[in-house]
Amino acid sequence: MAAARLPAFLVLQPRARTLRAFSTSVSPATRSPRPSPSTTERTSKYGRPLRRKALPPRTEKMAVDQDWPSVYPVAAPFKPSVVPLPVRMGYPVKRGVPMAKEGNLELLKIPNFLHLTPVAIKKHCEALKDFCTEWPAALDSDEKCRKHFPIEIDTTGYVSAGPSIRNPKARVVTLRVELSSLNLDDHAKKKLIKLVGDRYCKSTDVLTIKTDRCPLKRQNYDYAMYLLTVLYHESWKTEEWEKKKTEADMEEYVWKDSSSEKNILETLLQIKAAEKNLELSKEELLGTEAVEEYRKSVVSLKNEGDNENTLSQYKESVKRLLNLT
Amino acid sequence: MLKGMTRLISRVHKAKHGEQHEGQHYNISFQDLKTVFSHGLPPRFVMQVKTFNEACLMVRRPALELLHYLKNTNFAHPAVRYVFYGEKGTGKTLSLCHSIHFCAKQDWLILHIPDAHLWVKNCRDLLQSTYNKQRFDQPLEASTWLKNFKTANEHFLSQIKVQEKYVWNKRESTEKGSPLGEVVEQGIMRVRNATDAVGIVLKELKRQSSLGIFRLLVAVDGVNALWGRTTLKREDKSPIAPEELAFIYNLRKMVKNDWQGGAIVLTVSQTGSLFKPRKAYLPQELLGKEGFDALDPFIPILVSNYNPKEFESCIHYYLENNWLQHEKAHTEEGKKELLFLSNRNPGQLERLCAYL
């Protein structure tokens, strides 16, 4: 086979040579009828046209009061020749400055909002106004809105160009309501807070229910409203087992029937016994002003924790109770 | 620096410490050191006493407040509890020692537990209690404590008589009416029964101080150990709760205010405490819910850093004893530097001056 190949290779070569010879023989004939090159184009002896000189960037031709939204009508990557700002970005070398915008990859990587300047947004709003209805004139303050519409529903819609218009993220529904606008008594409010757990924020008194377990937004909204209704009704009911609530379950300190009350009672009884002063009964002892003050100071100490104020209050009340100067 | 400015030689008239003496040092005689303070003082203070060859305590407001209350106690009423609290190094233990010294001079019986934290950690040998199978004994700690208690209250031990018969084992028993010293001796000699001896001592003292024979001062340092957690474990590595230790159980009964004829002075401290954060110093944080409920009602007394007068006095004291050798120590800038570095905290100041 190799022997058979060799002559083919040898045969090819001279054929190529003959072709080349043919072309060289042909080319001088073809070259002469070519028209002369235009004056603007620079030709070199090698016949390859060079690329033209870079034009000055568009930024130099921009007016100061131009219409910017037409330069960047949509989200587009950062084009240094179009943005007239002398922006620099990058970590500088020693004794240097950050890199300029021309050919700067860092500026290309980050998202830019050049298409959303305030002027552009104003234009968007003007265009959207045709599709909007009037805001009701009676609802001119936040309190009125909260009073008449205590439940706030948050939903998000997503628009994108793609094979399908559906977006699974659009089914999330968030329901926010302030507990002060619900009709709850003390027991109901504590039970509701225990039932919802983390979903209640103590500082703003807002219950947030976020649902996304159903496939459609409408279904999630119904489910959220159902949850709210059920929570409300259940927290008003009192079950049998709620009577077994222990001191550890209490949200705040209750002085009645606590060990503090027992201690102070025993102490006072002993003091009275020592002074042979057994006329006062338990209820009267507990009703005296000194004990009232003591009760307040203990409750504040337990609920608020230790600080200078509560501790000094407690000290004063104990001193008064035990008749120390 | 005149000696009179910072010193106050008043060995006998401890009772006359008043507000005008605030900031001045007073001397404790060596005799008292050996008896009353055989086991009470903080270790750094003991080193200072050895160096200066004298024991001087500064008279400060928290201690003065407590002394005022103690002077006006009504011994017919139940014992009042006073709790010293404050940040680390502010002088709680020394204020406690000041009040102990005062009461010792007034001839009270001193029941001083130097550091309750020592009883809930690092205990080598735990025996099952002979009295109650559920609880545990700590023979070593109990016997050391009994020895110190004996030296502190020697003269009382012969006066107080036990009111019950106690049987130790088949051969030994203490009859009714014998002096308390015998119980203490029994505990020191028979280390196995030491914790029970301590329990008996506590019970008898509590019962008899209500009768008015003597006045009892219960002083516990680090009382938050009684209601915290322990690091002791049984053989099967399960943790032991504090109430399962016989000593802690008896001590809890002691700090309850159901007896008359004395006072209870306590400190809560984070140093040496178990499982408590370093910055905790407020009573509720350190005592926890259980401890607070048990001690309620009590009088909390805050011990804070030195005020400027006390700070000056402390520096003068160190200068007089030639403790500050740095040449800039007595200048104004030196004092300002020390003030800034220590933030007027007594413990911190003492540590800083050790380097100068």
Q: Are residues B341 and B289 in the same domain?
A: no
Contact B297 A275 (CB under 8 A): no
- Residue A298 within a domain: yes
Looking at residue A115, its pLDDT comes to 93
- Residue A8 within a domain: no
Q: Are residues B188 and B326 in the same domain?
A: no
A294 touches B: beta carbon within 8 Å:
yes
Lowest mean pLDDT among A15-29, A76-90, A231-245, B62-76: A15-29
Give residue-wise pLDDT tens across range B224-237.
Answer: 888 888 888 888 88
Q: Are residues A155 and A236 in the same domain?
A: yes
Q: Are residues B85 and B191 in the same domain?
A: yes
Q: Which two tokens stand for residue B177?
A: 């009416």
Give residue-wise pLDDT tens across range B41-90.
Answer: 888 888 888 888 888 888 888 888 888 888 888 888 888 889 999 888 88
Q: Are residues A277 and A309 in the same domain?
A: yes
Residues A62-68: what's their mean pLDDT? Answer: 89
Tell me, what CATH number does A168's domain have?
3.30.160.20
Max CA pair span of chain B? 72
- Whether residue A285 is predicted with pLDDT greater than 80 in this model: the reply is no
Looking at residue A325, its pLDDT comes to 64
B293 touches A: beta carbon within 8 Å:
yes
State the smallest CA–CA distance between residue A196 and chain B in angstroms: 27
State the smallest CA–CA distance between residue A257 and chain B in angstroms: 13
Domain assignment of residue B180, given as a range: 63-302
In the structure, what pLDDT confidence band is assigned to residue B313 with cuts at 50, 70 and 90?
A: confident
- Residue B287 within a domain: yes
Q: Read off the amino acid at residue B173.
A: S
Looking at residue B4, its pLDDT comes to 40
Residues B24-36: what's their mean pLDDT? Answer: 84
Lowest mean pLDDT among A43-52, A89-98, B213-222: A43-52
Looking at residue B50, its pLDDT comes to 87
Residues B342-349: what's their mean pLDDT? Answer: 88
Q: Are residues A266 and A311 in the same domain?
A: yes
Q: Where a domain ends, among A240, A262, A289?
A: A240
Q: Are residues B186 and B331 in the same domain?
A: no
Q: Where a domain ends, among B259, B282, B302?
A: B302
Looking at residue A131, its pLDDT comes to 92
- Residue A52 within a domain: no
Which are the contacts of B65, defined by CB distance < 8 A and separation ≥ 6? B301
Q: Are residues B269 and B342 in the same domain?
A: no
State the smallest CA–CA distance between residue A238 and chain B in angstroms: 29
Q: Identify which of B126, B118, B97, B93 has the alpha carbon closest to the alpha carbon of residue B14.
A: B97
Who among A267, A298, A321 is closest to B257 (CB)? A267
Per-residue DSSP letter, B260 = B
Q: Are residues A147 and A79 in the same domain?
A: no
Residues A259-278: what's their mean pLDDT? Answer: 74
Using DSSP, state whether B283 is helix, strand or coil: helix
Kindly give the residue spans of alpha helices, DSSP state H, lying in B1-60: 3-6, 30-35, 43-52
Residue A315 to residue B342: CA distance in whole angstroms:
29
Give residue-wise pLDDT tens across range B102-151.
Answer: 888 888 888 888 888 888 888 878 888 877 788 888 888 888 888 888 88
Partnered with residue A200 across adjacent β-strands are A207
Looking at residue A288, its pLDDT comes to 78
- Residue B26 within a domain: no
Interface A:B, Cβ pairs < 8 A: 63
State which residue of chain A sits closest to B290, comparing Cα positions: A259
B288 touches A: beta carbon within 8 Å:
no
Residue B218 to residue B114: CA distance in whole angstroms:
11
- Residue A7 within a domain: no
Q: Are residues B285 and B138 in the same domain?
A: yes
Who among B69, B76, B300 is closest to A314 (CB)? B300
**A217-236 vs A186-196: helix crossing angle, rounded to 10:** 140
C-alpha radius of gyration, chain A, whole number: 43
Residue B324 to residue B353: CA distance in whole angstroms:
6
- Rank A18-27, A126-135, B177-186 by mean pLDDT and report only the highest: A126-135
Q: Are residues B272 and B141 in the same domain?
A: yes
Alpha-carbon separation of residue A9 from A22, B204, B229, B321 (angstroms): 20, 124, 96, 113
Q: Are residues B175 and B312 in the same domain?
A: no
Contact A274 B257 (CB under 8 A): no
State the smallest CA–CA distance between residue A194 and chain B in angstroms: 22
Residues A108-118: what's their mean pLDDT? Answer: 93
- Residue A81 within a domain: yes
B75 touches A: beta carbon within 8 Å:
no
- Residue A19 within a domain: no
**CA B285 from centre of chain:** 20
Q: What is the tally of structural domains in chain B?
A: 2
Domain assignment of residue A313, given as a range: 252-322
Lowest mean pLDDT among A41-50, A109-118, B36-45, B261-270: A41-50
- Residue B322 within a domain: yes
For residue A314, the chain B residues in CB contact (below 8 A) are 300
Q: Are residues B268 and B157 in the same domain?
A: yes
State the smallest CA–CA distance between residue A285 and chain B in angstroms: 15
Q: Are residues B212 and B141 in the same domain?
A: yes
Q: What is the tally of structural domains in chain A?
A: 3
Looking at residue A279, its pLDDT comes to 63
Q: Are residues B113 and B135 in the same domain?
A: yes
Q: Are B287 and B293 in contact (CB under 8 A)?
A: no
State which residue of chain A sits closest to B65, comparing Cα positions: A325
B68 touches A: beta carbon within 8 Å:
yes
B280 touches A: beta carbon within 8 Å:
no
- Residue B107 within a domain: yes
Residues B186-200: what's their mean pLDDT? Answer: 86
State the smallest CA–CA distance between residue A279 and chain B in angstroms: 17
Residues A263-289: what's their mean pLDDT? Answer: 73
Mean per-residue pLDDT over chain A, rounded: 82
For residue A263, the chain B residues in CB contact (below 8 A) are 293, 296-297
Give residue-wise pLDDT tens across range A200-258.
Answer: 998 999 999 999 999 999 999 999 999 999 999 999 999 898 888 887 778 777 777 67
Tell me, what CATH number does B83's domain have?
3.40.50
- Residue A135 within a domain: no
Contact A322 B80 (CB under 8 A): yes
Q: Are residues B94 and B157 in the same domain?
A: yes
Looking at residue B18, its pLDDT comes to 66
For residue B298, the chain A residues in CB contact (below 8 A) are 318
Q: Are B99 and B63 in contact (CB under 8 A)?
A: yes
- Whether residue A272 is predicted with pLDDT greater than 80 in this model: the reply is no
pTM, whole model, 2 decimals?
A: 0.71
Which are the contacts of A241, defined by CB distance < 8 A and separation ≥ 6? none
Residue B82 has phi, psi (to 5 degrees) of -120, 130
Contact A298 B293 (CB under 8 A): no
Which position has the token pair 């007239």? A84
Q: Where a domain ends, among A240, A263, A279?
A: A240
Looking at residue A277, its pLDDT comes to 66
Q: Would you tell me which residues 223-262 of chain A have a C-beta closer than 8 angstroms to some C-beta of chain B?
A: 258-260
Residues A265-269: what's their mean pLDDT? Answer: 77
Contact A274 B77 (CB under 8 A): yes
- Residue B36 within a domain: no
Q: Are B98 and B112 in contact (CB under 8 A)?
A: no
Of chain B, the percentage scoring pLDDT greater than 70 comes to 94
Looking at residue A28, its pLDDT comes to 47
Who among B68, B293, B300 is closest to A315 (CB)? B300
- Whether residue A1 is predicted with pLDDT greater than 50 in this model: the reply is no
Q: Where a domain ends, among A211, A240, A269?
A: A240
- Residue B75 within a domain: yes
Contact A259 B296 (CB under 8 A): yes
- Residue B52 within a domain: no
- Residue A245 within a domain: no
